[in-house]
Amino acid sequence: MAITNNKLLDSHYQSNFADIHPAFESKEAALIEANRCLFCYDAPCTKSCPTSINIPKFIKQITTDNVKGSAHTIFESNIMGAGCSRVCPVEKLCEGSCVFNLMDDAPIPIARLQRFSTEKAMEKKWKLFERKPSMGKKVAVVGAGPAGLSCAHVLAREGVDVTIHEKESKGGGLMTYGIAAYKVTPEFCEEEVAYIASVGGIKIKYGQELGVSMTLDELQKNYNAVYLGIGVGVARRLEIPGEELDGVVDAIQFIYDIRTNPYPSIAVGDRVAVIGMGMTAIDAATQAKRLGAKNVTLVYRRTQEEMPCTETELNLAKLDGCVIQWLAAPHEILGEKGKVKQLVCKIMKLGPPDSGGRRSPIETKDKVSIDVDMVIKAAGQIPFEELIKKSGLQNKSGKIIIDKNGATNLKGVFAGGDSVNGGKEVVDAVQAGKEGAVGILNYLKTNF
């Protein structure tokens, strides 16, 4: 048992990390599905999309050979519509509420159709939005993730001059660094960022970290307004003995490494435990398996009823051969010569529902031990609490507090996305960015 790289042949890496949602191979294939769409009125799919994309309209536009219009319809509501078509958990959003589900029929493959139109737009570099002449106002956006890009695009279209400060060397945020590679490739993310910025009026400065390269104070001085889309940071600590052992890693870091290095260079254990049952936990577990781990066990305190990931994601993990240990909470990690050897969990039972309605796990006397050489922590991420507090931002356990206009307690400083909600989907961050931009535009109008 060891954590090693180069576990597989190159060809295996290639097939293991190939796109799991392949695009339609032909226009005809897309049309068959697009023509199935009923063109619902006040459509449930649209109402289930956090960015309210007019889905029946964009699908209808595919059927009328108006793919350009279709792409515009999507991007108008969700400028990351191309990326979202690959990473959205559509089974609990648009596709989950498609009326065909109520007819016991397969829902319209909305994500795949959305990919059809948006991919074409990116491939052809269609210029779908016209930026208004510069109004001479400057806004700093911190973070080139979904929230920041979405906010920047709305502002730039309205004639604001936007500068995005990004600490990494590429844009896209978690889309680029925090999502399974078989959903979106780094190359795609780069193209997507470039396509969004191509509207004009958006300058992206890379390697600029808030609190290191510049302070919030400086940004407030140099710009008319600031939007914080800084996301969340490292994985939550388990706070159990053995957490410092060699072989205990952070899921976010693990996925970041996969996204920024060649697959064969990524070391993975033979027997891996992943703590958590969210989308990131699934992404970590499946990718550990796809990198050559022999056994991967997902460990979760509650049951399938309460799990945060969707059933589709769970099935993905199961099909990859991951084992699920329900009702088990990490208790301690045992090591040998400083290296992980065993994960000991307390067996849990479910108690009454908590304030959020989820049933809370209660410890029992029983334990279960899993022999492992690697433990990946994916039990949620924690906000950049220190940075936020130091900047004087009102917050709740590190999550920035905003009002209905997206404004923080600091004058001219707005925020949105994971840094506010604690970590949700890409599509939620895109919507937050749009709302923040509206708040900023109103602020600019009334204050300058």
Partner 1 sequence: MADITANFLGIKSPNPFWLASAPPTDKKVNVLRAFEAGWGGVVWKTLGSQVKNVSSRYSAMDYNGTRVMGFNNIELISDRPLDLNLREIAECVKLFPDRAMVVSLMADNTREKWHELIAQVEDTGAHGLELNFGCPHGMTERGMGAAVGQDPEIARMVVGWVMEKARIPVITKLTPNVHSVVPTGRAAVEAGSNALSLINTIQSVTGIDLDTLVPNPNVAGKSVFGGYCGPAVKPIALKMLATLAQDPITSKVPVSGIGGISTWKDAVEFILLGASNVQVCTAVMKNGFRIVEDMCEGLNNWMDDKGFKTLDDFVGRSVPNLTHWEDLDINYHIVARINPDKCVHCGLCYIACEDASHQSIRIEQGKPYNNYTIKEEECVGCNLCKLVCPVENCITMVEQRKGDEYLNWKEFQRRGLPLNDH
Which residues of this chain interact with partner 1, rule CB under 8 A? 31-32, 34-35, 38-45, 47-48, 63, 97, 99-100, 102-103
Which is closer to partner 1, CB of 98 or CB of 128?
A: 98
Of 350, 358, 296, the C-alpha closest to 328 is: 350
Handedness of CA 348, 252, 372, 19 (dihedral sign): positive
C-beta of 16 vs 46, nearer to partner 1: 46
Q: Which is nearer to partner 1, 96 or 398 (CB)?
A: 96
Encoding tokens for residue 242?
């053995």
Contact residues for 173 (Cβ-Cβ < 8 A; gap 6+)? 143, 144, 145, 146, 147, 148, 149, 229, 231, 429
Q: Which amino acid is at 164?
A: I
Note whether 430 and 51 are within 8 A (CB): yes
Q: Which is nearer to partner 1, 12 or 36 (CB)?
A: 36
- 22-57 b/e (C-beta count within 10 Å ≥ 16 → b): eebeeeeebbebbebbeebeebbbbebbbbebbbbe
CB-wise, 56 or 439, nearer to partner 1? 56
Identity of the residue, 66 or 215, whose beta carbon is nearer to partner 1 in the bound complex: 66
* Nearest distance in Å: CB 143, partner 1: 30
The residue among 108 and 402 lying less far from partner 1, judged by its C-beta, is 108
Segment (H or E) for 438: helix 426-447
What's the min distance (Å) between Cβ of 25 and partner 1? 17
| Residues 413, 437, 80: CA angle, nearest 5 degrees | 125
Instruction: Please give the Cα distance from 421 to 408 (Å, whole number).
Output: 13
- From residue 267, alpha-carbon distances to 19, 21, 70, 91, 251 in Å are 22, 26, 43, 32, 13
Q: Give the separation between CA 307 and CA 276, rounded to whole angstroms.
A: 9
Q: What is the nearest approach in angstroms of partner 1 to the Cβ of residue 51?
A: 14
Q: How far is the CB of 58 from partner 1 (least distance, A)?
A: 16
Q: What angle do CA 281, 428, 207 make, to 5 degrees?
A: 75
Q: Cβ 21 to partner 1, closest distance in Å? A: 23
Least distance to partner 1, CB of residue 60, Å = 10
CB of 400 to partner 1, least distance (A): 27
Of 48 and 419, the one with the shorter C-beta distance to partner 1 is 48
Distance of closest approach, residue 27 Cβ to partner 1, in angstroms: 11
